[in-house]
Chains A and B, each alone.
Chain A
């Protein structure tokens, strides 16, 4: 039986500026495994920026991000590869099929049994029977489902989802709710950036960012 490692995330006075524009100022947060935090705020308040900083995709101009897995702090490169991340500006290869995309990303992650994992994920996100179609032929909702599969591929302990239900139908919204709930139940932590009232109900904690 695989041991589940406890995970913790601590943000201390995170600040980010783009040139002279201040995107984030003094954001602090501490989250532990099993918790879901909804990050909300008006457009331009820095929700997506905050998730990218946590993922290690952007460097904060001030403050510190500390992520611990099994008590060990992760450096930004480890953080980047360990989180499960999905956002509207993340795309998968349109010239590959959904299944080929998952196999490719599993291969570059060095995941064993990538074939089985990819198959079960296609089922999980509701793409059963559509895995052999090119992503270019997918609807926006199907692409969002594939993004969710991409985020879950390596069974991350930290899930960062930016507007996860955008472009999804009611069944898709329920899928996101189930994914987030299962993730928290297994001891993982999740940050959801959203202003959608349905998604706000997925988390028991909230962080509201201002302009």
Chain B
């Protein structure tokens, strides 16, 4: 129970700090808003892209928004010297868990706002809403898990710019592939009846990935954080 209390304390502190400084929220929000605005401007008066391109666009926005915002929490800790106080006080796994839940919450909120906007802007009908919802939710949980671990690694590096996206992308390739395919299925690509069957495999891949990513992060984070 004590571990849960520790992780919960880190989570609450992350949100209080975030609410007062708006470090991640502003960068994540700004990036998402700019991306959506650019897409809207590019589509002005022209033909909307197909559903395949729409699915890819959605994941591009989510991936790069996550890469922009989620790395900040550990970088901020290292730059300010608070990481030292945290290392002396909390168990590594509790730090990871608290930050993971905080990052996943930010990314889920962003996705909940950005994805309906993008779908509406592109005029695409989602034929299976539960499939769309669960593919995005599992994808976001997987993205947050990998990026929280990678962000702690990147925070130790001298040249941090762009490193998070570069290091995370190959690891997240299965998530992005399953995510794009799952969203395509939810949008009716090869699935005009709106059945869940074409997206079931993607949900399984994403669900398994979340379990593996969280387990691996909990096992590895001590080495990343303390060594």
B5 touches A93 (CB 8 A): no
B88 touches A83 (CB 8 A): yes
Tell me the minimal C-beta distance from A150 to chain B in angstroms. Answer: 6
- Count of A-B residue pairs with CB < 8 Å: 64
- Residues on the B chain within 8 Å of A1, using CB: none
- Residues on the B chain within 8 Å of A77, using CB: 91, 222, 226
- Residues on the B chain within 8 Å of A92, using CB: 82, 85
B-side interface residues toward A, CB under 8 Å? Answer: 2, 5-6, 9-10, 13, 16-17, 20-21, 80-82, 84-91, 94, 222, 226-227
B82 touches A85 (CB 8 A): no
State A92–B133 Cα separation when bound (angstroms): 39
B2 touches A96 (CB 8 A): no
Q: Does A89 contact B (CB under 8 A)?
A: yes
* Other A-B pairs, 5, CB within 8 Å; known A80-B87, A80-B88, A80-B226: A85-B88, A89-B81, A91-B84, A91-B85, A107-B6
By beta carbon, the residue of chain B nearest A55 is: B88
Q: Does A19 contact B (CB under 8 A)?
A: no
State A94–B88 Cα separation when bound (angstroms): 18
A108 touches B16 (CB 8 A): no
Partner of A96, one of B13, B86, B90: B13
Partner of B6, one of A59, A95, A110, A150: A110
B85 touches A95 (CB 8 A): no
A108 touches B20 (CB 8 A): no
Contacts A57-B88, A80-B87, A85-B88; A108 near B21 (Cβ below 8 A): no
